[in-house]
Structure 1
Amino acid sequence: MKNFISKLPKAELHLHIEGSLEPELMFALAQRNRIEIPYNSIEEVKEAYKFSCLQDFLNIYYSGASVLIQEEDFYDLTMAYLTKCNEENILHAEIMFDPQTHTHRGIAFETVINGIQKARNEAQEKWGISSFLIMSFLRHLSEDDAFVTLEQSLPFKHLIKAVGLDSSEKGNPPSKFYKVFEASAKLGYVLLAHAGEEGPAEYVWEAIDGLKIVRIDHGNNCLTDEKLVNQIIQRDIALTVCPLSNLELKVVTDLKLHPLKTMLDKGIKATINSDDPAYFGGYLNQNFISIQETLNLSEADVVLLAKNSFEYSLLEENRKQELMRLVEDYALKN
């Protein structure tokens, strides 16, 4: 099954580019930019990657992002991830980036997006990997701050497909951002948001009814509300599930307790993703392999998850159908 998964055509819909910053690259960029980081070795960084909750992770995540200064840094970061996509047969990626993480440090929005875009163009030309950018607002900051970021995005609107909502979920409900999401929709951005990772089912309700999102990032806690589950199914809203992230951040204490199989059995359109792979012990293939082995998912389950990744991407319908047929053809031949 490992070989089957490794070569299976797939898309990744929930990936934070800053969360793909490997310790080796972090050290290289710190040296190049003469930035001091609170670790003396790569081993020390890896030892710090032991989290008890989402906030523990975010503290290290933002510290690591401090080494990203120049356009070249964002190019190197993004190219490293897209190289991994090529190795793992990821044909399409929807990449989240957090402008506020960088603009609050005095890094220009333009510097961030131009570096990312250069890598996206190169991956498309070299390997045929398509990608979209999702601009995520940081929910621990104010809605006014999100509006500033929305305004900064306007000169680069042609490069950004969607807006999202991430960072500390507890105490920062989706309702805090209703106005900026309404404004984003009027500008033509697709609407997405993290909900129900650490937050309750009520946050998922707010995200789908108030923010009017078309896809839920995480969504684990929707299973505590059967009416919500039924609504998600009826509205055909997919969940971008991240197994190894859920394990590392103690959303589940054991992968055996992960709700993915329950989601599929109930008819929820789930997808598998890596979230912040440099921090959570695995890129997309490892997430597939770990959850398949632990929950004893069938080949049909794995094929469904891969097909879902294309069907619930933001690609045009014709392209979705073409890529889903690739999955079906692969499954038939293997």
Structure 2
Amino acid sequence: MDKSQHETRDTGALNFEAIPRPVLLDLLRRAPKAELHLHIEGTLEPELIFKLAQRNGVKLGYPSVEALRAAYAFTDLQSFLDVYYAGAGVLLTEDDFFDLAWAYFERAAADGVVHAEVFFDPQTHTSRGVPMQAVILGLHRACQRAQAELGLNASLILCFLRHLSEKDALATLEAALPWREYFIGVGLDSAEQDNPPERFARVFARARDLGLHCVAHAGEEGPPAYIYGALDALQAKRIDHGVRCLEDPALVQRLADERMPLTVCPLSNLKLCVVPSLAEHPLRRMLDLGLCAMVNSDDPAYFGGYLNDNYLRCFEADPGLNARHAYALLRHSFEACFDLDEPSRQQRYRQIDVLFLEAAAGLPHAG
């Protein structure tokens, strides 16, 4: 990423202190946003799970929607993944994947999301006999509809499950290549513990040779060393989560100097016990240290909220998060986009500027 091109502009004309707290929260609800850390399987709401299970004749291990929701009391990442993979078992056809993604896009548009780069986990599905084609084409069809009907620009990032082998990841990438035009990058997700990024250096090198963008989960449950591994071994251009970078001042400086995006997911961090409370979440500290952090929702069906829920609950829990932080978070979300041309990026920046100028001046918003 070209640091000189995307440095935060001079904000002297913006009187952040003049924006009252209630106005700021309303601004956050309405502002245009990009979402860059969203697992589409993690948007599978219990109601849709039961609907698809009935449609596909899949027997669930829970008697009701309420019983399934009650299982969402996670103690760590693995306890979440156990429920997450079980829920994904209802996804069998191209239409299932379309319905899944379309339900997310409708929710996202209501939150002001105008750009989304969405993760999907093909290994979760192909291991159950679901064709790669059904996964990718169903999701792609929803992306097309989101653009046409919601004005939401959406693209896909294929993720590898790090608890499986690199051999399996390489085979997955090759199997997806007939539909290469429908995804823009690759990522690395699933359980961090004992699964360092270096294990996947070859498959990421192959992805880079194909012109794909590279991202990786690192520094959520895994140590700062995993962030170094994602940067150096995988040459990731975004770090997903990254909150544990604060344990290593030299790493923080490197991330700030390289303007490396960190796709932070506050409600996920809370639900998986990475932080004890949102009031103690390191988001504000990350911004104050000059890091290019932004807010995302990760697996919102499981973690208690979509994108606006993550923004608003953070700002409600931490009174130290102010209008200047909000401005940075919104801008960072567009700064870090892969699939966004520069004129469109600048247009989003201008929209954010106008919102903050109007809020500081006490002007009513239109609509």
The TM-score bracket by the shorter chain reads over 0.9
Structure 1 residue aligned with 2:34: 11
SS of the aligned residue for 1:52 comes to: coil
Instruction: Pick one of 154, 174, 181 that aligns with 1:151.
Output: 174
Instruction: Pick one of 56, 63, 82 that aligns with 2:79.
Output: 56
Instruction: Pick one of 337, 342, 356 that aligns with 1:317.
Output: 342
**Structure 1 residues 171-211: Cα deviation after superposition (integer angstroms, max 9, x where no partner):** 00000000110111000100100000000000000100111
Where do residues 199-238 of structure 1 align in structure 2 (5 Å cutoff)?
199-238=222-261
- Matched to 2:119, the amino acid is M
Structure 1 residue aligned with 2:13: none
Alpha-carbon distance in structure 2 between the residues aligned to 1:316 and 1:194? 25
CA contact (8 A) 1:174 1:206 kept: yes
Runs of 4+ in structure 1 over 4 Å off:
none
Cα distance, 1:333 vs structure 2: 2.0
Where do residues 281-320 of structure 1 align in structure 2 (5 Å cutoff)?
281-296=304-319, 297-314=321-338, 315-320=340-345
Alpha-carbon distance in structure 1 between the residues aligned to 2:188 and 2:269? 18
Cα distance, 1:103 vs structure 2: 0.4
Cα distance, 1:307 vs structure 2: 0.8
- Matched to 2:78, the amino acid is Q
Where do residues 13-32 of structure 1 align in structure 2 (5 Å cutoff)?
13-32=36-55
SS of the aligned residue for 1:217 comes to: strand
Structure 2 residue aligned with 1:191: 214
- Matched to 1:304, the amino acid is A
- Matched to 1:246, the amino acid is N
CA contact (8 A) 2:37 2:296 kept: yes
Q: Could you tell me which runs of 5 or more consecutive residues in structure 1 were left unpaired when the two chains were aligned.
A: none
**Structure 1 residues 280-311: Cα deviation after superposition (integer angstroms, max 9, x where no partner):** 00000000000111112112211210111001
Structure 2 residue aligned with 1:251: 274
Question: Aligned pair 1:332/2:321, yes or no?
Answer: no
Cα distance, 1:318 vs structure 2: 2.2
Instruction: Pick one of 120, 127, 141 that aligns with 1:118.
Output: 141
Where do residues 23-172 of structure 1 align in structure 2 (5 Å cutoff)?
23-172=46-195
Structure 1 residue aligned with 2:362: none
- Matched to 1:207, the amino acid is A
Instruction: Pick one of 298, 303, 311 that aligns with 1:275.
Output: 298
Alpha-carbon distance in structure 2 between the residues aligned to 1:96 and 1:125? 21
SS of the aligned residue for 2:36 comes to: strand
- Matched to 1:309, the amino acid is S
Larger radius of gyration: 2
CA contact (8 A) 1:311 1:321 kept: no
SS of the aligned residue for 1:216 comes to: strand
Alpha-carbon distance in structure 2 between the residues aligned to 1:259 and 1:64? 31
Alpha-carbon distance in structure 1 between the residues aligned to 2:331 and 2:145? 26
CA contact (8 A) 2:27 2:355 kept: no
**Structure 1 residues 73-120: Cα deviation after superposition (integer angstroms, max 9, x where no partner):** 101000000001111110001100000000000000100011111111
TM-score, normalization by structure 2: 0.90
